[in-house]
Each structure stands twice: as C-alpha cells, then as structure tokens.
C-alpha cells in the first residue's frame, strides 16, 4: 500500500463523530474498474449502478454489547474485556470467547493508550457487578492482551445472554463524541446477535433505498457472519485481524447466489464481512457457492482473486486498516488513491457512521 500511504494525507481525514444513521445526505465514492474511473455521488442514487437480476448480499447479524467491565477477583484490579471471537462452532454457545483485555480507562481513551493488565493468570476469575463471572482459561498473548475465557457454566444459555446484555456496552472508539447505546449498533437487516462490532456498511441504508433497488429488480440476499473487532490497540495483534469468525449461508441464499453467477449478474457485497463469508466458502469449494455453517480464518489480501463477489459497498477506511486489503482485492491502489483524494476535498466522513465507497 506504499502508493496510498505516500500519496494520501491521513491527517486531513474527517471522522464521523456521531452515531446518526440513515443520513439522507450520505455521500458515495464510486470506483468503476471497467472504465478505470472514480466519481462521487449520493448513496440515494445507488440503484442507478445496478441492473435487473443483480444481487446485493447483506449481513443480517445484530451486534452484541461486547464491552464488559469488571474486576479480577484475586487482585481487585479493574479490567475491561472486549469479546473478540467465538470459541467453537455453535452460535448459541456464548460461554467461551477469545477476548481483548484492558486495565482501567474508558472508550474515551485512545485504544492504543489503554493500560495493560499485567498480573493475570490462568484460572483467575473475573467478576461483574450483576453476579456474572468468567474464568481465564488461557493467556494467548502476553501480557494478557488476548485471552480465552469461559463464562460461568452453572447458568442456562438464556440466563447468560441476559446477564451479558444487562452489563455489556457497545465497543466504541475515542473519535466518537457520545456514549453509544445498543440500538446505535444495529442495522436495517439485524437478526441473530452474533457480531461483536457492527457490519457498519449497512448503517446508512434506509427502506427507501432498498425499495428503489427492489423496484429495479435487484434481489436482497441475506447471509450471517459474526463481524469481529476492528482494532485491538496493539499493532502486532492488529496485524492478525480479522480473527476467526463464524458464518452461515442458507440453502436459499446459496441458490440465489449460484443462479446469479450462472447468469453473469453482479453480486455486490454490502460490507467486508459479506466478502469474507462468501470468499471463504469459495475457497473450500473450488470457487463454488454452497450452503455452509462454519468458522473461517481465511484472510483476504490485495492479491486475492475474487471467486464469487463482483463488487463491494464499504465504509471509508484508513490505509493501515485490515479492511483496506479487502478493498485492494477489488481495485488498484491508483484508483483508491484518486478516489480518496476526491473524497477528502468534498469532506467525506470516515469510519463506521460515515460515508461509503462502492467498487465494481
């Protein structure tokens, strides 16, 4: 990404600092690979880039309140855990997690500046205000930055989830101005709560936009993917993002995607989590799409050749983010740089509540 990093001034980026969703003035950066062109438009005009029979594949995951603050029972030290990835294949099992840990502080502190927990051992117990507790099963990355925990198993799954929702808060970052509520992280398509951070490319989509797409003959196809953390606050750990994530693709969704492939229709992913799910399935099925339920550790780099997805609608990403590798699998650094510099000039907003990029 040397070209982007050398030709793009990240200091000029404006972040979306409020959780206002479905902004009717959401801007859209359009990168057309066929014409090798970039232009800016309004998201409300997105249907103009689709044709009858094309697919918009969406992640219908809801987002869990994945930041939990508690105490280490042995040391009485304050600890925040952020759910990072599920352990195991069962979406209903909320007991076992890999989590990122922080010491005292809040989301208003930059993630990279948060205090580390240095005195944490396997078998330590983490307690929470509502009586919930978790046991440290494994220290994966020392000093206790990435750990595996198991929530108490003497309560039912339903009671466990109730307790997590009772004390959990949305994961959020210091560029935001206000406390997020659970509903601030849900999208138009939210269904089963399996993501720890939201599939945020959907935030700005309204029923009006979806109606215009459907009236044009575009099919909206859901898949389920557990969108994970976007930042750990640690450069070494961030280089391993995204962590393993679960996905489910139904028989009906697989059929519709296969039919679109056979008829040379565009298959547009709404968000990077959709790309990861579909291309993971293709990776293990020789480029084909099949109904699937699994966990993927497949990482998409800029050299990846897409097997299923023809285009992506995603947020505005800074060059060093793992999401940028996925965007570069769709287009060239030259076009990303050209488009981003245009976006800067007309005050596009970056990050999850900001404006969008469409590459096809």
Domain ranges, ordered by start, for the chain: 2-63+179-359, 67-167
Q: Where are the beta strands (DSSP E) in the chain?
A: 14-15, 27-32, 37-42, 55-59, 62-63, 67-72, 78-86, 96-102, 125-127, 133-141, 146-151, 193-195, 219-225, 245-249, 267-270, 292-296, 311-315, 349-350, 356-359
Kindly report the backbone phi and psi dihedral angles of residue 109, in degrees, each rounded to the nearest multiple of 5, phi listed first: -85, 140
- Count CB neighbours of 290 within 10 A: 13
**Could you tell me the pLDDT band of residue 1, with boundaries at 50, 70 and 90?**
low
What percent of the chain lies above the pLDDT cut of 90?
85
Asked whether residue 71 carries a pLDDT value surpassing 90, the answer given is: yes
pLDDT at 240 (0 to 100) = 82
| The residue to which tokens 């409300």 are assigned | 44
pLDDT of residue 8: 79
Answer with the residue of higher pLDDT: 14 or 88: 14
Predicted confidence at residue 303, as pLDDT, reads 95
How far is 174 from 172, CA to CA, in rounded Å? 7
pLDDT digit string, tens, across residues 154-176: 999 999 999 999 999 999 999 99
Pick the CATH number of 2-63+179-359 from 3.40.1780.10, 3.20.20.140, 3.40.630.30, 3.40.50.1170: 3.40.1780.10
Q: 10 Å Cβ neighbour count for 333?
A: 19
Per-residue pLDDT reduced to its tens digit, 285-335: 999 999 999 999 999 999 999 999 999 999 999 887 778 999 999 999 999
Confidence class for position 44, pLDDT limits 50, 70, 90 = very high
What is the per-residue pLDDT for 238? 86
For the ranges 41-55, 81-95, 306-320, the lowest mean pLDDT is seen at 81-95
pLDDT for the residue 4: 63
Pairwise CA distance, residues 276 & 325, whole Å = 12
88 pLDDT above the threshold of 70: yes
Q: How far apart are CA 278 and CA 306, in angstroms?
A: 10
C-alpha neighbours within 13 Å on the C-beta side of residue 206: 13
Query: Is the pLDDT score of 65 beyond 80?
Result: yes
Q: What CATH number has the domain spanning 67-167?
A: 2.40.10.240
- Residue 22 clears pLDDT 70, i.e. is over it: no
pLDDT at 236: 84
Q: What is the mean pLDDT of the chain?
A: 94
Rounded to 10 degrees, what is the CA torsion of 214, 58, 38, 336? 180
Residue 242, both tokens: 């995204």
pLDDT at 2: 60
Q: Around Cβ 125, how many Cβ atoms within 10 Å?
A: 15
- Poorest-pLDDT segment among 19-28, 198-207, 280-289: 19-28
């Amino acid at each position: 990404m040397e070209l982007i990093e050398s030709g793009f001034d990240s200091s000029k980026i404006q972040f979306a600092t409020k959780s206002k969703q479905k902004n009717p003035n959401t801007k859209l950066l359009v990168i057309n690979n066929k014409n090798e062109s970039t232009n800016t438009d309004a998201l409300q005009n997105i249907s103009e880039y689709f044709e009858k029979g094309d697919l918009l594949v969406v992640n219908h995951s809801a987002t869990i309140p994945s930041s939990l603050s508690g105490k280490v029972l042995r040391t009485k030290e304050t600890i925040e855990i952020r759910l990072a990835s599920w352990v195991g294949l069962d979406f209903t099992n909320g007991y076992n997690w890999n989590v990122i840990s922080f010491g005292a502080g809040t989301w208003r502190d930059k993630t990279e500046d948060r205090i580390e927990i240095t005195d944490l051992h396997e078998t330590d117990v983490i307690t929470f205000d509502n009586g919930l507790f978790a046991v440290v099963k494994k220290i994966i990355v020392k000093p206790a930055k990435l750990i595996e925990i198991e929530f108490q198993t003497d309560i039912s799954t339903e009671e466990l989830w109730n307790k997590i929702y009772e004390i959990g808060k949305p994961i959020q970052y210091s560029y935001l101005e206000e406390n997020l509520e659970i509903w601030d992280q849900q999208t138009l398509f939210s269904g089963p709560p399996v993501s720890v951070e939201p599939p945020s490319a959907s935030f700005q989509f309204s029923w009006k936009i979806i109606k215009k797409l459907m009236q044009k003959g575009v099919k909206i196809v859901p898949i389920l993917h557990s969108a994970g953390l976007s930042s750990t606050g640690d450069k070494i750990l961030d280089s391993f993002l995204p962590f393993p994530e679960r996905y489910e693709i139904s028989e009906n969704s697989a059929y519709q995607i296969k039919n679109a492939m056979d008829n040379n229709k565009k298959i547009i992913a709404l968000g990077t989590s959709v790309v990861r799910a579909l291309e993971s399935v293709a990776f293990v099925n020789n480029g084909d799409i099949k109904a699937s339920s699994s966990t993927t550790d497949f990482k998409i780099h800029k050299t990846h050749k897409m097997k299923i997805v023809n285009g992506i609608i995603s947020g505005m990403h800074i060059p060093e983010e793992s999401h940028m590798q996925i965007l570069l699998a769709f287009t060239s650094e030259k076009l990303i740089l050209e488009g981003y510099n245009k976006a800067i000039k007309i005050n596009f907003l970056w990050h999850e509540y900001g404006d969008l990029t469409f590459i096809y």
